[in-house]
Structure 1
């Protein structure tokens, strides 16, 4: 297990003469919401299409994209639902790391509002401009003059009726989880990378090198646990392929 994802993973003791390094496939996720009276809302956008140009080495070696077909590109994935990417009327960003925000390139030059927490946009710009956190943030998708940025600084915000954003700092300063209350299928919380995997949440096991604020991460863990109990919410984690495929294989859509 990568030390990026679980703190202490792949660490070995002197007494362990043959430590085993485990690998695990991750998934990159977006959510498409059909919202009555508005149209389509997109939660996060995935990576840039051409990461070999936009990321380059060594990032493509450290964070390799091992499976990527035409059908997995954002415009094609939206078309598979019977819609077009131009039908997206709003984009909600849980956070602005390169594997979640790279697809913002598709919205450059449009008036589609891009919603993100004020602290996240500030930190992303600082991280790139100074190089202090360059790599997990990249400049190619921030596009300050060609994206329609909309920020908020609430700790809890009902951005649309039935869709709430909860500020969950720790992994990044402005990370927000999305809670959506569905009439038939109940409440879902998209945790984005507050939790990469189920184990981060269930075991209370924080990230390794990808955590930025240890104490804030634990406070955010407790926030999500309270929300889950209160709403009996189903959780979708930032990169947990097993959990994501369980929901995807159970039914084609949720309502």
Structure 2
């Protein structure tokens, strides 16, 4: 395969009620007293993949401008609790000797605000932006209707002037060793990414099909479940894919991800 290195970029932490991720019924008293909620810190990350035919970014995390861009409703539900200058995309790329204009392809797992937060950095260099057609349609429709969903119209407006490639397939090999699969479950166009390195290691990036490991273990999801039929069928597919030798699953919001995998500038091979 033609993938040499993978770098995991650290974009800080957000906090949310555990019920968003796994079934966690709340009582009436819980609703009256928000402090009784079971909150959890989760990580926000993206990944850079060095391929012989180009440099690929998977998702883009959040930025220092999030407090200006996000609606107050988003902050009340998913507050950013840890973010410093070091977590900025430019500085994360600088750790591995790159600049935004060095990115050739961006692949988005989906278009929620914590995954496309740094899109503005790439508007001038115009890399290819790969996302699923279902995700683009769903995001535009909900933003147009002003629905209370975590899509930002200003992020979608940026896409208009970029080299977007809306994929309509359930499976596509982007480059040798880099494959995307439509999984849905969370949003209609949620995809996962599978990368095979030159060392014959497989890395599966779940995006938000899986937010935290407990969803994987329980084969269940909380309030962020979009389509139960897609989730329950494809969680089994994901587990089958994991049975391949030398396969690792990287969950973007895993609270313990940095205990399992190294941050950039260290790499995965």
> How high is the TM-score relative to the length of structure 2?
0.85
- Match of residue 22 from structure 2: 6
Q: Which runs of 4+ in 1 moved over 3 A?
A: none
Paired position in structure 2 for 1:160: 175
- RMSD (Å) for aligned C-alpha atoms: 2.3
Q: 1:245 to 1:106 in 2, by over 3 A?
A: farther
CA distance in 1, matches of 2:121, 2:172: 26
Map of 1:125 onto structure 2 = 140
Aligned to 1:135: 149
State whether structure 2 residue 238 is matched by structure 1 residue 224. Answer: yes
Q: 1:21 to 1:220 in 2, by over 3 A?
A: same
User: Which structure's residues are more often strand, by fraction?
Assistant: 2
Is 1:42 matched up with 2:25? Answer: no
SS at match of 2:188: coil
Equivalent pair of 2:101/2:125 in contact (CA under 8 Å): no
For the residues of structure 1 that align with 2:131 and 2:176, how far apart are their CA atoms?
A: 17
Gapped runs of 5+ residues in structure 2?
1-16, 30-34
Deviation string 1:131-189 (CA, Å, 9 cap, x unpaired) is 23x43111111124322211111111111100100110110001110000012261010
Q: Name whichever of 241-250 and 86-95 sits farther off.
A: 241-250
- Residues 41 and 255 in structure 2, CA contact (< 8 A), matched pair in contact too: yes
Say whether residues 1:23 and 2:17 are aligned partners.
Answer: no
Alignment of 1:75-224 (within 5 A): 75-132=90-147, 134-142=148-156, 143-184=158-199, 186-206=201-221, 208-224=222-238
